Amino acid sequence: MESNETGSTNQPQPNQTLPPALKRKPILLYLSSILVLFLAISFTFTKTNFYKTQHLRYTLSSHSHAHPTFLQTLLGFLNPTPKPKQAPAPKPISISPFCVLWMAPFLSGGGYSSESWSYILALHEHMKNPIFKLAIEQHGDLESLEFWEGLPKYIQKLAFELYQTECRMNETIVVCHSEPGAWNPPLFETLPCPPGAYQNFKSVIGRTMFESDRVNSEHVKRCNQMDYVWVPTDFHVSTFIQSGVDPSKVVKIIQPIDVKFFDPLKYKPLDLSYIGKLVLGTATRNLNSKKEFMFLSIFKWEYRKGWDVLLRSYLKEFSSVDGVALYLLTNPYHSDGDFGNKIVEFVEESGMEKPVAGWAPVYVIDTHIAQTDLPRLYKAVNAFVLPSRGEGWGRPLVEAMAMSLPVIATNWSGPTEYLTEENSYPLPVDRLSEVVEGPFIGHLWAEPSVDKLQVLMRHVMSNVEEAKAKGKRAREDMIRRFSPEIVAEIVTNHIQDILQKVS
């Protein structure tokens, strides 16, 4: 289906622009998409989530440029609300002809999505004397209506503006911000990145990372197709080069964290009693305190995230009389969403002895939390904990640190870039173990210490002032090392170096 985008007969010429000219799809794809919409009409005339997602896809994806008159008419027929005003033309941010087209899962949620937005916001707000225009394109994962609707309005507005930026191929640097399997030619259905032959652009950059001790051979080949490969940490520089990626291509570009958005002074706590489902234990309170000491963990429900380590440590260390609570914000990952039963089954099969006083309470938050409410979630708890077996970066960790929370996290892989004894509680690793299933089979990752996690969780709960001091230092470090203005300068300087080399 994507052959027309990469084949020589239909290859765009260097003087064409993108978007929209570079984003033309085969007519069969449009017909099938339109058929889907007509099928939706045959079942319902209400504004369903299905329609909303289709509308989002057509509004902010490559489809929207193909047959605007027909599609706008069709979408207007489906949507009984008044037609919105046309988005304002983007404000020019540079008189330079050069352009950076950032392709990422902007509409999808998840790690790569939040990372890509952090870079875009940093560049949009903090570029000094802009040397290039900025454009974005959805790429990599499926669109999520919940994620889009939960974005702040100013980000939604910026998305429309940057999507309309027009760039000429021979004046454009493309950033493919996704896992290498999505790069051109993609191994699954997605808009290829770059959206055409590699050599037609000024430069092509792959922005990626891995959670294990190496990169597989197929992804090494794809990395070596790129002019540069941006990775976020020293850990990745080492593992990528050791795996066979050309050292001259590998560049460390740290990630920004929006310290103004994640600012504890701006928010009131979210009321967790309305969103947390008690799945284990009893909701009892410590008689010696006014409220429970609340731990929070945020992760996809997958083995790599170490949810088993967390539950084992927490349930071995605490009981219902300790006045603690563990909140898990999670979502399915190649599994169903029945997390309560999964937790109960794990406990029953673990061999752990139930405390005389009963299990310490475990709550699950399995509803979508809008991006605008995330700071309030962090604000509602006392500490953040994530004993994962491997992280590319660990977005929830740096968000929690920016919110001045004490953080307990595995001292291996991506988080070693920012975890210190002064700003957090690095969790020691017992050993490295072999990955036995999934795409990283045969790789190695960490086995965080269950016993030491028990000790750290009890220590944080028992030494509140020390924990608060570490949380304060964590926010200071996020501002000093990873604030958007700092990272925007790093990215801009590297792009300027590229333009000087290729001009």
**Secondary structure of residue 387 in the 3-state scheme:** coil
CA gap 5, 7 in Å, rounded: 6
Closest CA to 190 of 302, 19, 25, 334: 25
Total Cβ atoms within 10 A of residue 89: 9
Which band of pLDDT confidence, cut at 50, 70 and 90, is reported for residue 289? very low
Segment 232-239 shows an average pLDDT of 98
- Provide the pLDDT for residue 503: 77
Query: Among residues of the chain, what percentage have pLDDT more than 90?
Result: 71
Strand partners, 384: 296, 407
Residues in CB range of 287: below 8 A, 6 or more apart: 323
Overall average pLDDT of the 61-72 stretch: 36
Range in 55-69, 98-112, 256-270, 405-419 the model is least confident about: 55-69
pLDDT of 101 reads 97
Whole-angstrom distance, CA of residue 379 vs CA of residue 363 = 17
Backbone angles phi, psi at 391, to 5 degrees: -135, 140
Which residue carries 């329609």 as its tokens? 51
Cis amide linkage into residue 19, ω under 30° from 0: yes
Domains of the chain by residue range: 17-86, 89-256+483-503, 264-482
* Helices 153-163 and 111-126: angle between axes, nearest 10 degrees: 80
- Cβ neighbours for 304, distance < 8 A, ≥ 6 positions apart: 211, 388, 389, 390, 445
In angstroms, the CA 461 to CA 468 distance is 11
Comparison of pLDDT for 57 and 5, the residue scoring more: 57
Write the pLDDT tens digit of every residue in 100-118.
Answer: 999 999 999 888 999 999 9
Report d(CA 389, CA 446) in Å as an integer: 5
pLDDT digits (tens, 9 = 90+) for 129-187: 888 999 999 999 888 888 999 999 999 999 999 999 999 999 999 999 999 999 999 99
Question: Tell me, what's the pLDDT at 319?
Answer: 97
In this prediction, residues 310-338 reach a mean pLDDT of: 90
Q: What is the C-alpha separation between 2 and 6, in angstroms, rounded?
A: 7
Angle 167-494-89 from CA coordinates, rounded to 5°? 30
State which amino acid sits at residue 4: N
CA triplet 392, 491, 242: central angle to 5 degrees?
45
47-61, 237-251, 348-362, 445-459: least confident range: 47-61
What number of CA atoms fall less than 13 Å from residue 267's CA on the CB side? Answer: 21
Instruction: Give CA torsion, residues 254, 257, 258, 261, to 10 deg.
Output: 180
Per-residue pLDDT band at 56 (split at 50, 70, 90): low
**C-alpha–C-alpha distance, residues 389 and 391, integer Å:** 7
Cα 339 to the chain's mean position, in Å? 22
Q: Give pLDDT, residue 67.
A: 31
Distance CA 310, CA 326 (A): 10
pTM for the predicted model, two decimal places? 0.83
The tokens 């929006």 sit on which residue?
A: 258
Compute the mean pLDDT over every residue in the chain, rounded to the nearest whole number. 84
Specify the residue for token string 């000219």.
21
CATH architecture designation of domain 89-256+483-503? 3-Layer(aba) Sandwich (3.40)
Picking from 428, 426, 427, 429, the residue whose alpha carbon sits closest to that of residue 470 is 426
Contact assessment for residue 390 and residue 309, using Cβ atoms and an 8 Å cutoff = no
Burial 8-37 (b: 16+ CB within 10 A, else e): eeeebeeebbbbbbbbbbeeebbeebbeeb
Q: Each residue of 13-54: pLDDT tens digit?
A: 344 555 443 443 333 333 333 333 333 333 333 345 655 666
pLDDT at 271: 95
Task: Give the DSSP letter string of 321-344.
Answer: GG-EEEEEEEE-SSS-S-HHHHHH
Distance CA 411, CA 27 (A): 50
CA-closest candidate to residue 367, choices 394, 342, 337: 337
- CATH entry, 264-482, from 2.20.28.270, 3.40.50.2000, 3.40.50.300, 3.20.20.80: 3.40.50.2000
Residue 401 has pLDDT above 80, yes or no: yes
